[in-house]
Structure 1
Amino acid sequence: MTDKKWLVSIALIISVFGFLLIRFASESSKIQYIVDELKGEKEQAFKGRHIVLIEQEQGHPYWQLVEKGATEAAQADHIAIECIGPVRNNMEEQIKLLEKAIASKVDGIIVQGLNDNIFTPVINKAVERGIPVLTIDTDAPTSKRLAYIGTDNVEAGRRLGQIVVQTTGGTGKIGVIIGSESAESQLQRLSGLRSVIDEYKGLQIVDVRASNISMMEAIQQAADMLQLHPDIGMMVGTSATDAFGILQAQKSLKRDDIRIAGFDDLQETLDAIRKGEIEATVVQQPYGMGEMSVHLFHDYFQGRTLPSTQFTKVEVIDKSQLKAERSP
């Protein structure tokens, strides 16, 4: 490794260390509980209806909002809810938790359909055993799930593409960081983004890499991409921590010419938009997804028929909107 690469690597580590330390401290109290859940060592007695929300990654800011919406709705609807998920993003662990929920004979399951081929058979297994399933955030459309609640991810990707066009004027090289190469929602967003970019001959996506829903990985992948493609003028991220990770790489490489757009409204992202460091972000409604999912289960338990799809809205937030929010 050259001296320059060593310096870049060290700078990346230092820039993110403080951020990760704070986040680790805030989440560490949850780890033992999650480990106990994964080992099956915690047993809880539930009265009445008992449903399970299986998250992609417990402690992740996005899924904390989903969980908050679900738990508050469950309290209002007098439903017991158990929120579980891998400590780190792990599809195999999610499948194990889904199997555990089936074995526990819960009254309902809320889960992502991250990979239709992998999740559909297990979702169908639950339904065939009399356990209704709702998919959230990412659908498994060929499964026997009752309904999907979440973003229209293709349209959300198109909204991200429109930000790129407005920012670049329709010309330039684009780098993309997606949350996962296996999550259908991420691939749908990429598809929507490409559909807009392809309408402009002057725009080109030169590289696409996955962060695996990891801040550190987003930083490293963005840094590698910018060094490999120094002619990139704008980078976009399609999951919650990607844009902020891109920003850390941009700062470490002193590439102030790079424009950035992202997904979701983490506080770090919003603060960067206020400073003019990130152009805009496409915002989903994770709280609303969790809330709506539980309310739909409540309706189902009351004998009501559910719509097969419930899209939650998305919006674009930029600096002008944040300034307007602060105005008297």
Structure 2
Amino acid sequence: MKRSLRLLRPAGLAAAALLALSACSKKSATTAAAAAPAQRTVLIGIIGKSQTNDVFQAAHAGARDAARELGPKYGVHVEIEIRTPNDEDATKQAEAIEALARRGADGIALSCSEANTVTPSIDKAVAKGIPVMCFDSDAPQSKRFAYYGTDDAYCGAIIMQRLAEEMGHHGSVAILAGNQSAPNLQKRVQGAKETLAKYPDMKLNDPGVFYHVETPEKAAEAVANAQNANPGIKGWAFVGGWPLFTADALKWPAGSIKVVSCDALPAQLNYIRDGHVGTLFAQDCYGWGHKSVEILLEKIMHDKSPDPARVIDPLTEVTKANVDSYAKNWSKWLAR
């Protein structure tokens, strides 16, 4: 009896070949996926002074933008964890550093409300191999590896110098100074006082330096109370822009009392436009977050520290001449 042979037709051969090719492709893809390493996640903690202060909202935005922009450059996914306390509290900042260390953070950036309180927690994190840097307000005696922000003595000096120019180098002035324990603000006050001493026809009111809780409402209240109690004050040096973060904070006719302030956030720009403030000196609040993430990624991925360790950002002068062009930065920085 003849054995019957079943021959595959050409179409059947083609189908069989396609099935075999598909199976090989799937196997190759599966093998490649298994061989490819999972993308590393880099966790960076950001700790500002307070959630209620707009400058730290800008810093948070900068950090998140840097994570999106720079992660692909380093081949990692960058996760930002904001641990800024609701209100300014150095003890809560120290607790936030320690919580991030327990979480296994790859790096931490913070603005110190009070350097002595946070330094032990910074040093503990560094001892665990976590690089820590400061922005805005430094802890120079800690083991932090870098600082990014303003030259605070210069900031206070340039604010007072410009106020003197706007007052014609004559009259009584006061300084609005925020948290008395903040090391960056202490340096600004000192810079302002040293500059004021250069003008013999100007004097610091007695009392001359007014401290307050760093919220817009408390700052505006401090200015109003001080001015009512000391009507001889003819000029204010704000070493932080706190009262200008809220509307209608300055209760006098525009220009009747001269004001020069630090910071140039969106709410503050209207005080330039209406003439209540002559000059704003803008810090790189957005850059506090963005640049800090850049510096930390270089440290985490390449073990590179900036040289020098203190990276100073220049202040930007904002007046009526450039206020509208400067405002466009915020449209870009905070677009969401």
For residues 82-231 of structure 1, what are the structure 2 equivalents within 5 Å? 82-206=81-205, 207-231=208-232
Cα deviation for residue 72 of structure 1 reads 1.0
How far apart are the structure 2 equivalents of 1:244 and 1:113? 21
1:314 maps to what in 2? 315
How far apart are the structure 2 equivalents of 1:262 and 1:64? 19
The 3 A distance-change label for structure 1 pair 323 and 137 is: closer
* TM-score, normalising length: structure 1: 0.79
Aligned partners of 1:222 and 1:246 also within 8 Å:
no
Q: Which amino acid aligns with 1:224?
A: N
Aligned partners of 1:235 and 1:246 also within 8 Å:
no
How far apart are the structure 2 equivalents of 1:255 and 1:271? 12
Q: Which amino acid aligns with 1:239?
A: G
How far apart are the structure 2 equivalents of 1:316 and 1:214? 23
For residues 234-253 of structure 1, what are the structure 2 equivalents within 5 Å? 234-243=235-244, 248-251=249-252
2:234 maps to what in 1? 233
Cα deviation for residue 294 of structure 1 reads 0.7
Deviations 1:271-321 (A, max 9, x none): 111111111111101111211111111111222421211111112211122
The 3 A distance-change label for structure 1 pair 134 and 55 is: same
How far apart are the structure 1 equivalents of 2:201 and 2:118? 39
Aligned partners of 2:150 and 2:313 also within 8 Å:
yes
Cα deviation for residue 246 of structure 1 reads 10
Aligned partners of 2:261 and 2:280 also within 8 Å:
yes
What SS does structure 2 have at the residue aligned with 1:48?
strand
How far apart are the structure 2 equivalents of 1:202 and 1:257? 19
1:66 maps to what in 2? 59
What SS does structure 2 have at the residue aligned with 1:49?
strand
The 3 A distance-change label for structure 1 pair 173 and 244 is: farther
How far apart are the structure 1 equivalents of 2:267 and 2:232? 27
Cα deviation for residue 180 of structure 1 reads 1.0
Per mean C-alpha deviation after superposition, the further-off stretch among 73-82 and 151-160 is: 73-82
How far apart are the structure 1 equivalents of 2:53 and 2:193? 27
How far apart are the structure 2 equivalents of 1:303 and 1:323? 40
How far apart are the structure 2 equivalents of 1:143 and 1:86? 21
Aligned partners of 1:111 and 1:136 also within 8 Å:
yes
Cα deviation for residue 190 of structure 1 reads 0.9
Q: Which amino acid aligns with 1:315?
A: T
The 3 A distance-change label for structure 1 pair 244 and 167 is: farther
What SS does structure 2 have at the residue aligned with 1:294?
helix
Residue ranges of structure 1 left out of the alignment (5+ in a row): 1-45
Cα deviation for residue 248 of structure 1 reads 2.0
How far apart are the structure 2 equivalents of 1:68 and 1:317? 22
How far apart are the structure 2 equivalents of 1:303 and 1:315? 31
How far apart are the structure 2 equivalents of 1:51 and 1:267? 27
What SS does structure 1 have at the residue aligned with 2:322?
helix
2:332 maps to what in 1? none
Cα deviation for residue 245 of structure 1 reads 6.4
Aligned partners of 2:234 and 2:258 also within 8 Å:
yes
For residues 261-276 of structure 1, what are the structure 2 equivalents within 5 Å? 261-276=260-275
How far apart are the structure 1 equivalents of 2:90 and 2:119? 13
Aligned partners of 2:155 and 2:239 also within 8 Å:
no
1:43 maps to what in 2? none
